[in-house]
Structure 1
Amino acid sequence: MDVLISPIASLLQTLIQEAHAENQRRHEEKMAEIKLIANSELRDSSV
């Protein structure tokens, strides 16, 4: 049983890290869009 725990724990850790990285990437993209709109003429047309 101990033989399976380490690979499973490693896999779970990798999955969590990948999910976090994806969430961070989406957040950064959204913030970049907001910044672009806030700093451009698009602000007037999107409001």
Structure 2
Amino acid sequence: MNKNVNEAPESVKIAVDIIMLLEQNKVPTLTAVEALEIALNDFKKKQTAS
């Protein structure tokens, strides 16, 4: 990560890590978007429940 990312909020750092993981594993864009939507919905449900 470059200096700007290291100073970024934790959420930005995690987003960069996720993007890198998906790109390094050559996950097709549509598959990545669908997976991210599933994960986002799951985390939103957990947030609402707590």
Larger Rg: 1
Q: TM-score, with normalisation over the residues of structure 1?
A: 0.49
Q: TM-score, with normalisation over the residues of structure 2?
A: 0.46
Higher relative contact order (CA 8 A, sep 6+): 2
Richer in helix (by share): 1
